Chains A and B, each alone.
Chain A
Amino acid sequence: MSAPAIASYMTDRIGPLPFCPGCGHTTLTHALDKALVKLQLDPRRVVVVTDIGCIGLSDRYFTTHAFHGLHGRSITYACGLKLARPELKVITLMGDGAAGIGGAHFLNVARRNIGITLLVGNNFNYGMTGGQHSVTTPEEGLTSSTPAGNPEAPMDLCATAAAAGAPWVWRATMFDPDLPDVLADAIAQPGFAMVDVWELCTAYYMPRNQFKKKELLEMFGAHGLTTGKVVDRPRPEYTARLREVLASAKPPRPSPGIEPRFPHAVSRQTGIVIAGSAGQKIKSSAALFAQAGMFAGLHATQKDDYPITVQTGHSVAEVNLSPERVDYTGIERPDFFVLLSEDGLRRTRDTVAALPATSTLYAVDDLELPPTAARVRRLPSRELTKDAGRLSLCTAALAFLLADSGLYPVAALRAAISAFTSPKIAEASLKAAAAGAAAVHRE
């Protein structure tokens, strides 16, 4: 048998591995090297990602790309790398501390099944910061932060990954002679694969707890756990699925531009407030009204105010129309105010009460209004919604406003309706626009 083309994926350029004598991380790091040698992967297509914790000292010894990030976040960088270049083999090495602080990422990478390999050097405590307890410290375990014994229950990383949907999970120890083969199997998986490698921390957890090889292996029995495969249930990997789903996706059609083709009678910035209930199509009707103004050669702005719920509560839209670009978009003294429901009035009562005599207030006929200096015009709601239905009340009211005020022709509103709504909605909206204009003309 000929020698492999690549005999090692590690370098001694920066010296030997820095781990304490007997540390499991040395075993894990060398096992990863052997796994890569077995797979003979192109080092230019492999990234080793680590984060904070002693195991994070390992990436720099690899001759692949190497990325060392923030505590517990290595999974997120690995996912970013894999999403950007699905052809890469991205191998993340992290400790049990990182699995705890990065718990959300641990759960979600398993759930999403992004095809990275996660190797956890699990030595039951934080080695880098002085041996504090982690999410995997056994109950009663002595650490620098549990000096009287750990009162917390440990998390089984494999069971957690499995519950989150990981397709391939293996529980191992640093003493497993087949560890390099297990790691090679994990790396060869197309989907997310995790190996939980139980290790000795010779600096802290081992001396403090008389926790040696024998005790580590006995812990399996005590917890009713075994080494070996925990999960092997392949399912489609995320980036592959994404490519499949997106094969047929098309970018949104660019919105048609608005060329002015109607006249207007707006000599200065004019503020229009439309207040009603959620479900009355306030926001979309106001947008059509603004776009219609643009068909008349005006500049327009729109801001909306509505609760986080839908189909309940108020909806208020503020529109500015101006022959010039609109600088200040606030409307302190609306020139026109359209009031379509009790919800709208409740939200804007102070503004309505403060309307100046120069304002016109268009209010549906059944609404009891607070005293106001504004010129009040009543909207005949039954007549406005007779043909087009209640959902078109706002459009009808805005057509009424246009016909009454002469800001710009109702024909421009019709043009906006035809340009920016689906044929079905346009049919009702055009009827509503006609009803609004007719109601003014009938007077």
Chain B
Amino acid sequence: MAFEFVEGNEAIARAAVRAGCDFFAGYPITPASSILHYLNEDLPPRGGVVIQAEDEIASMGFCIGAAMAGRKAMTATSGPGISLYSENIGLAVMGETPLVIVNVQRQGPATGSATRGADGDVQFTRWVTSGGLPVIALAPATVEDAYLLTFVAFNFAEKFRTPVFLLSNAELGIARESADLDAVPLPPRFDRVKAPPAAEGFRPHQFDNPADVPAFADFGGDTITRFTTSMHDKDGFLTSRPAVIQEMVDHFAAKIDAAADEIALVKEDLQDGADTLVVSYGVTSRSVAVAVREARRRGRKVSSLVLQTLWPCPEKALRAAMRGLKRVVVPEMNMGQYRQEVERLAPDGVEVEGVCKMDTTLLSPDEILRKGGLL
């Protein structure tokens, strides 16, 4: 066991390398730029490509092109950049393009508070592109968590052929902490399933059951493949037939929804006899940990559920944790975005309250104890 003093962004970059990332395109933006800097040193000597694009739209376009040519691609930005990625994220959903998108969130809207944190992009991530089809989003709390979840993000991107978001925060991305990254237990690496060579008639979006993930053929590989951002059939040809379009839309949703339990990563700290549950994610869950310890020290029975997966919403875990409770407290560095999900799932009679702040500072354990009624 050897600790290092590591920034959250560096942990993300190093996990990407470990996951086999070999393409990165990005445009400078605080607080995400150091991911570009780190990978610019680390990837190229290993045969990877790193390019600073002319803007965020090109960053995504480069990544999509590279990913469709078989590379494992990642990009990193902050809220304003995600706005510019939006249209191409839809294209990546359509193309079933494996891709990792890091959002080191900063307080917004617009230019907001450039170097300071918030979790204001939680619902923006879910509804980031027109059409509203599901995406996957993971939210790390610590540097070690960032390392783990970046690795997992690549696995999910490859396995489900979809863009996967890593929702970090300036409070994590550009802060350093003691961490032992080599000791972080990682799952086995998953690489996209490649289609067997086909002389002709390859179907880029072949599935038998809607939840199946089609086998992939690289652009420029031996199997001729095609893609269109327009609604297409399994052959990748544009279609206007409603039945075929609905089948494809069902497929895009089903391949993620059907795997929701596999994608749902949570950390439960449930206490017998507790009448209150705190639901949190990202850096706020660290303050929650302190607050819950303090409440328990004072004799309160309190449970905690930390969500590492935000999208798809870990509904099963949330429902189970809320059974038999009186209150649920949802502290967030925004004006109550994820509370909507918790309210939607809360059993009758369970009161859901938010502790909300987006003044660029962390919610303190004290604020959570007082405003969350945990004293």
Contacts and interface: CB of A to CB of B under 8 A. Distances in A.
Contact residues of B: prevailing secondary structure:
mixed
A431 interface: no
A423 B220 CA distance: 49
Contact of B287 (A63, A290, A325, A327): A327
B176 A84 contact: no
Contact of B219 (A67, A104, A327, A329): A67
Which of B65, B71, B226 gathers the greatest number of chain A CB atoms within 10 Å?
B65
A275 interface: no
A221 B42 CA distance: 54
A65 B200 CA distance: 12
B224 A70 contact: no
Interface in B224-283: 224-230, 237-238, 283
A300 B175 contact: no
Interface stretch (B51-59, B104-112, B119-127, B160-168): B51-59
B344 interface: no
Nearest to A259: B2
Interface in A104-121: 104-105, 107-108
A328 B290 contact: yes
Contact of B177 (A44, A301, A304): A301
Interface stretch (A31-39, A73-81, A204-212, A364-372): A73-81
A105 B60 CA distance: 12
Contacts of A85: 69-70, 218-220
B219 A65 contact: yes
B45 A66 contact: no
A258 B62 contact: no
A294 B5 contact: yes
A433 B3 CA distance: 24
Nearest to B293: A327
Contacts of A329: 171, 175, 177, 283, 286, 362
B12 to A, nearest CB: 15
A25 interface: no
B81 to A, nearest CB: 15
A332 interface: yes
Contact residues of A: prevailing secondary structure:
mixed
Interface in B145-200: 171, 174-178, 180
A257 interface: yes
B176 A246 contact: no
A270 to B, nearest CB: 14
Give the contact-size bracket for chain A: 35 or more
Contacts of A47: 219-220
A76 B3 contact: no
A108 B226 contact: no
B238 A60 contact: yes
A339 B284 CA distance: 29
Contacts of A287: 5, 176
B54 A104 contact: yes
B69 A257 contact: no
Interface in B63-88: 63-71, 73, 87-88
Contacts of B237: 14, 60
A158 to B, nearest CB: 20
A249 B41 CA distance: 8
A83 B220 contact: no
B23 interface: yes
A108 B54 contact: yes
A44 B220 contact: yes
Nearest to B142: A325
A80 B73 CA distance: 10
B23 A84 contact: yes
B163 to A, nearest CB: 14
Contacts of A326: 177
Which of B45, B176, B286 gathers the greatest number of chain A CB atoms within 10 Å?
B176
A63 B220 CA distance: 12
B220 A65 contact: yes
A328 B362 contact: yes
B66 A68 contact: no
A105 B42 CA distance: 26
B25 interface: yes
Contacts of A246: 44-45
16 contacts: A44-B224, A60-B226, A60-B228, A66-B226, A66-B227, A68-B238, A69-B229, A77-B64, A250-B45, A251-B41, A300-B5, A303-B171, A328-B365, A329-B362, A330-B361, A330-B362
Interface of A: 14, 43-45, 47, 59-60, 63-70, 73, 75-85, 87-88, 104-105, 107-108, 242, 246, 249-252, 255-259, 287, 290-291, 294, 298-305, 325-330, 332
| 7 nearest CB pairs, A to B | A80-B65, A257-B2, A76-B61, A84-B69, A84-B66, A77-B65, A68-B228
